[in-house]
Structure formats: C-alpha cells, structure tokens
Structure 1
C-alpha cells in the first residue's frame, strides 16, 4: 500500500536483567530541545509572522490570530499579570473550554512563569460536579480564574470557594465586579516582561494538570517547561514530516486534558502550525458542527477518539466532496483513548486510497498526564489497530513480565513529571527505587522475538481480578474486546466477577444506536428490558464464548444499565473514563442481580 509520509523506523535497544526485567529504549537520538514554550512563539513570529496560529469560529467564519499578533497579545497580557504581582505561587485557573482567549492567557502565563491550570468545564457547568471544581480550587489556590462567559458559568463563579479570587471573563455580561479580558490586553508598560521571561527555564512549572480521578481524588500534575519542550522534540524526531511543512489541525480535544492541551496545542506551536479550534464534539447534536467546520477547513493531521472516528467515517462515506477535502493533504490519522475498530481503520485506508492513492500514517501512542504525554509511539506504519509502538527517544521503558509474557510498564525520561502538587506522599509512591514512574498499565510485545515490532496495550493491572477458582481476569483488555463484540450497541461497560464463579458485564447501552436499530427498551429496577435486544446480545455473547480460550476470557452473563454513568456521582470522569470502583459501589444491587439467579433482565450464555 503506497505511503509517502515520512517517519522514523523503529529501532530499539533491549537490555535483559537477571531478574527478568526488560529495559527498552530507542536507538535514535533526540534533536534540539527548546528551553521554553515562549521560544517557539518568538521563532515563528519572526519566521512566519502572518501565518495563522490560533483560530476559532466567529459568526459565519473564523477569528484568526497570526503568530505576530499572538506574540504581541501574549506580551501585553503577561505585563498585566506581572503588574498584579503574579508569579510561580499565583496560579491561574481556567474553568471554560478551548478558545483563542484561553490560549492567549495560557501562553502569557507560561511566558513569565505563572502556572496555568485548565480544569474540565463540566465541573463548572454541571451542578452536581461542583464538588470536583471546589476540590481543584482548594488544591490549587488560584489568584485568578478565567472563564469565556460570565453568564454561562455564573453558578460556578458564585461558589463560596471563589470568594476573593479575581475573575476574568471574555464576556462579562455587564458585571462590574469582574475583570474584562480586554483589560488584560491593554497591558502595563511599567512591567518588566523581559526580566520575568529571563527567569523562566526548563524547570519552571508551566501548567498544572488535574488527573481524571478515576481511582482517587484528582491530583495536580506539575508540568514543567522541560516536559513540554522535550516531548515535542521527541515527537518531531519520530514523526519528521511535522517539520517538513507546517501542520494544520482542526481539533476539539479539550485543553484540560494533556493530549489536547499539551500534545496537540504544543505540536502546532513547536512546528509553526495552525490550530483551528473545533467547537463541535463527537456526540449527538454537536457532531454536525464538526462537519460544518471541516467543510471550511481541513487538517494535515487528524486526532480523535474511536467514537469520533466512527462518526467521521460514516459522514465521509456519504459526502464525496468532504471526503476529497479531508484526505487530500492528510499526513496522519491518530486515535487515542481506546483501540480503533479494525473496520473503521480499513475504511479510512480505503477512502484515502480512493482520494489520493496513498494512505496517511495511521497510528497511536501511549502516555499519561504525568509524562507530558507521549512515551511510547507507533511511529512506523502498521496494518492493525491496538499497537502503541516503542519508546520515543530519551525514554526508557522498564517492563516487568509475568509468567504469561504480559509486562507491567514503568517509565523514566526527561518528559516525566517531578511530582504532584502539595502531595509528597503520593509523589513518593508514584516512583520506584530506581526513579521509574509506576504507571499501573500493562503491555505485551507484538512479537516477543522482535522488540522493534512494538508493544500492544493490555489493560490496567489495577483492574484485574481473580475468579473464585483463582483464575486471573485481565479486565482492561477484556473490556476492549467486549466493546468490539457489542459495537455499536454498547457505549461502555464494566467487567465483573471478582471472587465469583464467572465473568459478567454491566453494559451502558448507546441509546442512539438502540434507537437507530429499532430497539425499544423499558426500565426494570435500574436495568433495561427488551426481548429483541436481549436475544441479539445473547447471540453475540454466545458466538464469542465459543471462541474464548478459557474461563479467564469467557463472559457468561450481562445486564443492561438503565441510567448512564453519572459524572456528579463520580461514576465518570471529565475525560469520559469510567470509575469502575464507583460504578460497582453505586450499582451494587445490579451487580448482585447480574451474578444471581432467576432475574429475567440478566442475559445468560
């Protein structure tokens, strides 16, 4: 299959220790590394001053800000921050989503050493999730809070935790007690911006990112300038096409998450690219906005989660003009968050071949908020989904195998965090005696005889459990397998069976998919009842059970949850991940029904 996108072939160095531990690192070197994100901004403002850097929808078109304009505004805002006496101990919290003003404020803060703290906008918009916002405010203790719209976020701004904090809004709604973002843009000529900028170095904290809280209270990850700058050098080394022509990206991924806010945002800034902020999302009612935006501007790169790619695939299949525009300059298709269904993968390959006679690099990677994020990357072409690749230059992966060849993954490198904010105990627990970050994730080699073939993600060790027989169940990988088996009817699911005699799944159905398929379900004490749907799911589960290798992979029973996972109740994080422990605790009655006998809502195989 023809490919012209440049990439760095896998080449790894493997070291086997006497205790069975494997160290894996790239044989490739790391290129030049910037000291600060502000250095990228200065470079491109000088080399491509009129090129669009940041853009967002404005009326029928786009508000576009060039590199030169962004630098000028960043310096003005930075001077306004300095005039308030702000610095490393006075963080700025952002409670609204992606936007040009948000980007300008973040860059200005980093420019003069003020940590920026973007939190999930759901914490501010959903009444029941305000406890998460309060937790973040109490941990961070910001000197300033920014929101794009004071009226839309009024309830969050009125929380007692916000008392005494300067509130800045792009749209103040006429409130005189708030600071207009336009006032920051006026700057303060008396502030010495250059002196403050000179004090910013690789060890300066550029941002604090909140973890998802899927296993505990959200933690504040200290993200240094070095972490962000090194990670972009690692990406440029492994994906050299990024430096050949300026990339362009139309992207919705939220900036409170490390992937959208550090990986994608900084990828554009580091390489002189253009970031068009997509105000749509891959959910019902908002995806049409994404299609509208792509009808106006398409990217050379495309990042998304699997459900987003599935929706995009369906839309491109029906729209030849959009299909042509989408693929004609595309270098990269990058999925994250879960494995991309193979039929979607192959569908994108077929459409790319139809439009331009070649396939872009289709890939994924692995990393954490604590690693800035990319640590392991599939940097060369592969023909299947689910492979995450090899360590990027500068990172060493420490793999601790079990008897089956599955490896616990730990990592060390310059893109790994120094620790969590004000939490020395959990910081110490995050690293082993050799200084490797303990991730809790598991990997397997694609080919144990050839480590250059890369690694495949194999779930989280903390999610694994034992059946009554003592058999281990790898719940993370099984969950991904079951989602593929039940697609598109299941939006998500929880694998159950700890200390029981068999495996079950609690299914959160995709209501839209059920409607499109003509299923009409009724609630029965927290579960869903629909004879036609039950029979379809039983058929799929039985077919998969016949191919299962044993009790560790054979799902014997399932139940459909009537209510979707609740973010206010802690069942779902702002990133859309399930908090499995919380789901099982809150739905203990359903769990008991699932593993009991005689319940008509339980699907048995």
Structure 2
C-alpha cells in the first residue's frame, strides 16, 4: 500500500511536531523513528508508554512504519486495568521515553528507550538510502524506513471501556486510519498548510489518531500543549496555528473566559477551524464562543471501533446539537426507528476488524447483515444532519472527553472492603459533560467508608478520570423482580 505518511518517507525539512520548545521536522522524525522501527520489525506487538511527549509520537510512528501493531498505554491507568490490557494484548516490547518510570508489571517486556535528541537527526545521513534523480545524479532519499504492509494489517489496538467488564481491545487496521483521515481531509479542507494545536492525551482515538496522525498524513504540523490550558491555546493560535481540536470540557473552560479575554477571543477569531468531539458541546458554550469571536465550533461523531462517522463541514456553518452528515465512504442507518429516532448502525472502510481475543463480543457488535451497532440513538433532519439523542444503554458515561464504562467502576468499588453493593451512573455537569456518580450500600451502615476513600480507591485501581465525583450512601439499591438494578430509579 502507499505510505501512511508520505512526507515522512520524503524526509521533508518542514516542521512535523512540536511540544513546547522541542520540535521535529519530518526528516528528524523519520531519523528518530528509523532505528526503533528496525529493532521492532519482528516484535509481534509493541506497547507505547503514551505520555504527552515527542517520544510517544516517535514510538507510535516507528511501530506504524515497521508494520507492527501498537498498543498505546495510558500512564495513569491503575494497576488492575493495566495488567489486563498487557495480558490481553500480549506485547513483547514497550517503547518509552528515556527516564520514564514504568510500573513493575511491564518489567517482563523488552524496553526500548526512544531518543529524540538533536544528535539523532544529525545521524540521518548515516541511515539514508542513496537514490538518483531524473538525471542519474546521487540524491539523499531520507532514512531507510521499512516497506509498509497491506491495508488490512492491524495498526493500533486501542482499549475501550466496556459497560459490564474490563476494557476490550479494538483492532484498527491501516485501512481504517487512512479512510478516516482522508475523509476528514475532504470535510475540513485539511491541507499541508494547516497547523493543529491540541492538548489531548495520546492514548486514544481523538488525541492520537486525529490529533497526531492526522497532521502527519496531511504533511502539515501539530503543536501539542503537553497539558491543555487556555493560555496555551491563546499562545499557539496567536503564533500561526490554524486549527484547534478539543473536547467539550476544554471548550467549556474557553467559553467561561472568552468574553473578557481579549487575546483569547482574537486568537480564536483567527483560527480556520475549531473542532469539538467525544461528547456533545452544550449550546450555551457554542453561543458564548460564537458571540465573542464570530467563529463557530463544529462537531464530529465517532467512536473507537468506527473512528469518525460524521462531521460538520468547514464553512458549512455549525448547528449546535448536530454532528454533521456521514463522511464520504460511511454508510449510516437508523435501526428500529420510532418517532424519528433509532440506533445508529454503520458500515464502511473506517471500521475496526474486531475485538482482540473476543470473537463473541465482535459477533455481538454486528448485525446479521454486517452493520456495526453503535448503541447510540439519533435522528436525521431533512438535510441529512445527524443529531445524537442518547444511549441505548445507560452504562456508558462521557466525562471530560472520555467514554467510561460504569461496570468497571462498579467492580472496583465492590473490591473495597467497606462496600456491599454499588451502582454507577452519570449526571449532567457543566464542565465535564457528565460526572460520575456512585451509589453505595456500605457493609456497615453505622460506619460507612469516607467518600474520599472510595474515590481514591477507584483512581488507584483504574485511572483518575474514572473516579466518582459524587458518592451517595443507600440502605439498598432499587431492583426489579429479576434482581436487576434499576438505575433510572436512582436519584437524590
């Protein structure tokens, strides 16, 4: 197949990625990725310790150009969840930045330190192939990168929270990544002249595939903030960045100050494209940003298993509450439609190939005629715009840009010695979109655990963003005649 990143193979001299003061050109990125790519080409699968650093970019790119499936690991993941992911995916190598402190359970893996120091780029000529130009004269063709595999080869295995158990590994082929990024090129008029700024984590679809691999496929550049801040957004958009990717929590924080922050408003006004995703952006935040800047935030819709399904178009005008029309190549239908609302089901080249080691879950995720069941409920307007109205299930919580399964939090709570029963729900939150709420029946009603004790327990076991923000103590959980917890009956 053609390379995922043509500018990388051409070893172009323009900037590819920047983290603070540390920037890499395409030539430098190719040089830095070439050595680990050669070392891992027969590794089977590799893990990348996905910190918000250039080392993560080099590690992921090295695996992709080597044709080796890569498993991004969230450094904040709790020990139990991390152990499950490593056991399930079976990597033989972990790529990490020099100096990264890795948990002991990764000790059985071969560690390769990724180096992005300037002297690596200086060695590019030593790894360069000798080619000839049209007149037969020698020319430097860039570092010798391995030939890339076919379109159906797995590229990434991204773990997504299930609603009733541990995370499942969605196997994303190279075909899906290319199809999604090329469809967004058309929808957003995305070119090599665009400079993207974002501060998203690099272990999931939004931050890694859209935010890092998207600019690299276009031959443009990305400036990562390391950690999101309004000041960082202002600085980078004022210094030539043309696009901003964020989740509703980030745009909410922007909306809170944009009407009194002149520099921020000016920076946003100068951006070509402002994109929000991972959950619905509340209409009040849409209005505040548009009023202060004259610039609308557009939305898109996708999930780990499908990558991007829909997007509002550049120049098409944002419509709060909608996520645009299906992208080129995506087929979308509403199943079991009632009152104009049905479950979103899709098929197309952007879909994953299945859940790793879970043929049962893979089979259940598709209809008999081959459509993927998203579990989302939506309606279509007369112009084909999609409006997401909710979930078929109540157990997937969208908080701070993350999709979080209630079941795994319940399991963690039940492991606490002071908890007899537990249920987890989501409730609206102006900042996070939804906040995680735990409903707990203590083992000793006269001496229940402290709320902070339970929230810290979940953060240690799973990840900080999965901790409940509110804990309610009950004498019993509401159940139906079959003994199933009735979550819709849970309220204060």
How far off is 1:186 after superposition?
7.0
Query: Any idea what the Cα deviations from partners look like across 1:393-437, whole Å, max 9, x if unmatched?
Result: 111113113433321111110111111222222222222111111
Is 1:321 the counterpart of 2:263 in the alignment?
yes
Aligned length: 436
Cα distance in 2, alignment partners of residues 183 and 270 from structure 1:
22
Cα distance in 2, alignment partners of residues 181 and 430 from structure 1:
46
**Which residue of 1 is the match for residue 210 of structure 2?**
263
Q: Which has the larger radius of gyration?
A: 1
The DSSP-based 3-state class of the residue aligned with 1:375 is strand
Alignment of 1:306-317 (within 5 A): 306-317=248-259
Aligned with residue 280 of structure 1, among 227, 234, 242: 227
**Which residue of 1 is the match for residue 332 of structure 2?**
397
How far off is 1:594 after superposition?
9.6
**Which residue of 2 is the match for residue 210 of structure 1?**
159
Is 1:385 the counterpart of 2:320 in the alignment?
yes
**Which residue of 1 is the match for residue 309 of structure 2?**
375
The DSSP-based 3-state class of the residue aligned with 1:386 is coil
Gaps of 5+ in 1: 1-33, 124-128, 172-179, 282-286, 354-358, 466-474, 495-504, 508-523, 529-559, 596-601
Query: Any idea what the Cα deviations from partners look like across 1:135-178, whole Å, max 9, x if unmatched?
Result: 1111122121122254x524x1x22x532x2113358xxxxxxx
CA contact (8 A) 2:16 2:220 kept: yes
Alignment of 1:473-488 (within 5 A): 483=428, 487=430
The DSSP-based 3-state class of the residue aligned with 1:169 is strand
How far off is 1:54 after superposition?
0.7
How far off is 1:66 after superposition?
1.0
Cα distance in 2, alignment partners of residues 561 and 295 from structure 1:
41
**Which residue of 1 is the match for residue 277 of structure 2?**
336
Aligned with residue 22 of structure 2, among 53, 58, 63: 63
Is 1:366 the counterpart of 2:310 in the alignment?
no
Query: Any idea what the Cα deviations from partners look like across 1:312-370, whole Å, max 9, x if unmatched?
Result: 23343333234323422x121111232222222112112223xxxxx35x211211111
**Which residue of 1 is the match for residue 139 of structure 2?**
none
Cα distance in 2, alignment partners of residues 320 and 98 from structure 1:
29
**Which residue of 1 is the match for residue 173 of structure 2?**
224
**Which residue of 2 is the match for residue 406 of structure 1?**
341
In structure 2, the CA distance between the partners of 1:300 and 1:38, relative to structure 1 (3 Å rule), is closer
**Which residue of 1 is the match for residue 186 of structure 2?**
237
**Which residue of 1 is the match for residue 200 of structure 2?**
253
Aligned with residue 458 of structure 1, among 377, 389, 393: 389
Aligned with residue 77 of structure 1, among 36, 42, 47: 36
**Which residue of 2 is the match for residue 169 of structure 1?**
113
**Which residue of 2 is the match for residue 153 of structure 1?**
101
Cα distance in 1, alignment partners of residues 264 and 473 from structure 2:
48
How far off is 1:374 after superposition?
0.5
CA contact (8 A) 2:249 2:432 kept: no
**Which residue of 1 is the match for residue 88 of structure 2?**
139
**Which residue of 1 is the match for residue 435 of structure 2?**
492
In structure 2, the CA distance between the partners of 1:387 and 1:74, relative to structure 1 (3 Å rule), is same
**Which residue of 2 is the match for residue 53 of structure 1?**
16
In structure 2, the CA distance between the partners of 1:222 and 1:302, relative to structure 1 (3 Å rule), is same
In structure 2, the CA distance between the partners of 1:79 and 1:170, relative to structure 1 (3 Å rule), is closer
CA contact (8 A) 1:101 1:170 kept: yes
CA contact (8 A) 1:279 1:289 kept: no
Cα distance in 2, alignment partners of residues 434 and 406 from structure 1:
21
**Which residue of 1 is the match for residue 53 of structure 2?**
99
**Which residue of 1 is the match for residue 474 of structure 2?**
590
* TM-score with structure 2 setting the length: 0.76
In structure 2, the CA distance between the partners of 1:591 and 1:225, relative to structure 1 (3 Å rule), is farther
Alignment of 1:104-119 (within 5 A): 104-119=58-73
How far off is 1:53 after superposition?
0.6
* TM-score with structure 1 setting the length: 0.63
In structure 2, the CA distance between the partners of 1:296 and 1:215, relative to structure 1 (3 Å rule), is farther
Query: Any idea what the Cα deviations from partners look like across 1:234-254, whole Å, max 9, x if unmatched?
Result: 1112222x13x6111221111
**Which residue of 1 is the match for residue 367 of structure 2?**
432
Root-mean-square deviation over aligned CA pairs: 4.1
